[in-house]
Amino acid sequence: MYRNRLVSFRFVTVLMFAILAISGLGFSIYMIYIANSLYMYALAISFTILAVIAGFFNVTASVWYYRSFLYKDYLKKITKKLEPVKTFPTVAIAVPVYNEDPKHVKSNMLRLMKLKYPEDKLRYYLLDDSTKTEVTSELKSFARNHNIVYIHRESRQGFKAGALNNFLKHSSEKLIAIFDYDEYLVDTNFLLDLLPYFNDKKLSYIQTTKKYAKGSFFSDSVELFNAFFFRFIQPARALDNTAIFAGSCGLISRDAIESVGGFPEFVIEDTFFSFESDMHDFKSLYIPKVYALGRPLKTFTELMRQQWRYNYGNTQFIGYFFKKSKKLRRFTTLTSMDYITHGFSLNYLSFVLVLFTIVSMLIAFSTVPFVSLTITEFMQSKYLPLDFEAFGVLAFLLSFIMPIILTRVYFKSIRKGFMIFMLNYALAIIRTKAALAALFNKGAASIRWSRDIDPNKSRLLFSIYNTKVELIFTGILVALGIYAININHVPGGVWLLWYGIMYSCATILFYKYG
């Protein structure tokens, strides 16, 4: 009975994605139809372009969502063909570190050393890029006492990819397992479970599910970003042989790494490596099982740093993808869409969202013949058919309701669904800034906070200062929303007020969660 309800819900969800795409396009078509000036045509065309982009992502999301349920049978067929392992290849366990707490590093390294595998075939490597003397000294001593190969670099050239490429020069193992310093192994069968799949010599890597350990309500909500990706997107991509290597909790063939020329030295080396692997005609695989738990993101600051890095890297990847486009002839349309949508995903959730907001603001004060209703009339159902923004309201409501419904059905929480909705607005500006920094090759690959204000002394001031762009944007939207309501443009005014409230979430979350 429960299974039948889930199957029915799949079709309902796909239908909601379709209605969401149609609603935006319907509003765009009507705007073009009633445009009566060059300015209005420009506004209508701008909104249409954004609606088409949104529609593309909504349709893609529905395809990923639906196809993710096909992966279980696909993987089962592959698993049935597996043969017992006759010989055990050498394996390197690599853990990159940069100025992290030695206590956490040592604890997780000791846990990794409990992996079930022939000891003479297994070697551990600590890739230390730390610049703090006390950290390097403690980790070096720890490595020496536990027969771990310690590799230290004086510079961070190439970031994590640089550390991994340097490690390749000092190792010779046939398979390489990468774990982040903060990931605690929960299943010691990691190597034994994954090894049989590498009987296929064309297999480049296997990615397993990445998951954060349980934490606060905030960190558990953030975990859902990962959960949605690994539950719906990664399985669907794996059907197309485009499963993304996610940087850790994965096993890679050295032959594949060397064939593609090592790890591309970009901020998100994992995505670039996945793409290069596919370009070189290797296979990839996703195993939907958790073998290690990462440390939860406890603060909003950590989340903003992470999202800055992701979107900076994704924007770089888009340029890289199109630069290599001449060599993509063997890619199917679906394969190309997988990579394009992956690169544009956070830009869609940020840059396009910000542009939507700006265009909405211009529409509210344009010459579009909105039906001018008073607040009293607006509340009366008989005037609803006259509301010009019916399509817009429908699109907005669905964009708000869908993450909440999906979170409730699959992750048993309405509150976390609402938090995810808030986070997409709260992170929109910082993601946009990261995209622009990457686009114009300006700024660093990681965000920097003001050093003039001590957050421990004045968290409110620190929060306000570091979200000043979001607050200015919020102030403009709120002021215009109030003005629109005063001149009886109630729908437009409410629309702008809601946008203003959502963008202020950056400051609220910064203050509440640090």
Closest CA to 112 of 122, 99, 101, 97: 122
CATH code assigned at 170: 3.90.550.10
Query: Is 329 among the domain residues?
Result: no
Question: What is the per-residue pLDDT for 144?
Answer: 94
Question: pTM of the predicted model, to two decimals?
Answer: 0.85
Query: Is 374 among the domain residues?
Result: yes
Residues 140 and 254 in one domain: yes
The residues, any chain, with a CB within 8 Å of residue 281's CB and separated by 6 or more, are 202, 330
Question: What is the per-residue pLDDT for 56?
Answer: 84
Domain count for the chain: 2
Query: Is 393 among the domain residues?
Result: yes
Residues 95 and 65 in one domain: no
Where does 324-452 have alpha helices with state H?
333-349, 351-364, 375-378, 390-411, 414-426, 428-439
288-300 average pLDDT score: 94
Residues 264 and 152 in one domain: yes
Residues 54 and 95 in one domain: no
pLDDT in tens, 107-153: 999 999 999 999 999 999 999 999 899 999 999 999 999 999 999 99
State the maximum Cα–Cα separation within the chain, in Å, rounded to a whole number.
Answer: 79
Beta strands in 8-112 (DSSP E): 91-97
Residue span of the structural domain in which 146 resides: 83-298
The residue type found at 103 is K
Chosen domain end from 237, 270, 298: 298
Query: Is 432 among the domain residues?
Result: yes
Query: Is 289 among the domain residues?
Result: yes
Q: How confident is the model at residue 287 (pLDDT cuts 50, 70, 90)?
A: very high
Q: How confident is the model at residue 393 (pLDDT cuts 50, 70, 90)?
A: low
User: The tokens of 45 are what?
Assistant: 């065309």
Residues 63 and 88 in one domain: no
Q: If DSSP codes are grouped into helix, strand and coil, which group holds residue 370?
A: coil
Q: How confident is the model at residue 246 (pLDDT cuts 50, 70, 90)?
A: very high
DSSP secondary structure, 432-466, as one string: HHHHHHHHTT-S-SS----SSS-TTT-HHHHHHHH
Query: Is 338 among the domain residues?
Result: no
Residues 148 and 281 in one domain: yes
Residues 289 and 429 in one domain: no
Chosen domain end from 265, 281, 298: 298
Chosen domain end from 257, 274, 298: 298
Comparing 81-85, 395-399, 494-498, the range with the smallest average pLDDT is 395-399
C-alpha dist (Å) from residue 311 to 50, 317, 391: 19, 9, 30
pLDDT in tens, 327-364: 766 677 778 888 888 888 877 778 888 888 888 788 77
Residues 235 and 376 in one domain: no
Buried b (16+ CB within 10 A) or exposed e, 108-139: bbebbbebebeeeebbbbbbbbbeeeebbebb
CB 17 within 8 A of CB 59: yes
pLDDT in tens, 305-330: 899 999 999 999 998 888 887 776 66
Residues 185 and 261 in one domain: yes
Counting beta carbons within 10 angstroms of the beta carbon of residue 146, is it exposed (0 to 12), middle (13 to 18) or buried (19 or more)? middle
Counting beta carbons within 10 angstroms of the beta carbon of residue 326, is it exposed (0 to 12), middle (13 to 18) or buried (19 or more)? exposed
Residues 220 and 286 in one domain: yes
Residues 89 and 155 in one domain: yes
Question: What is the per-residue pLDDT for 31?
Answer: 75
The total of other beta-carbon atoms located within 10 Å of residue 389's CB is: 21
Residue 371 has pLDDT above 50, yes or no: no
Question: What is the per-residue pLDDT for 391?
Answer: 61
Q: How confident is the model at residue 237 (pLDDT cuts 50, 70, 90)?
A: very high
Query: Is 320 among the domain residues?
Result: no
pLDDT in tens, 420-470: 888 989 999 999 998 888 888 765 555 555 555 555 667 788 888 888 999
Quote the CA–CA distance of 47 and 44 in Å, as a whole number: 5
Residues 65 and 146 in one domain: no
Query: Is 107 among the domain residues?
Result: yes
Question: What is the per-residue pLDDT for 461?
Answer: 84
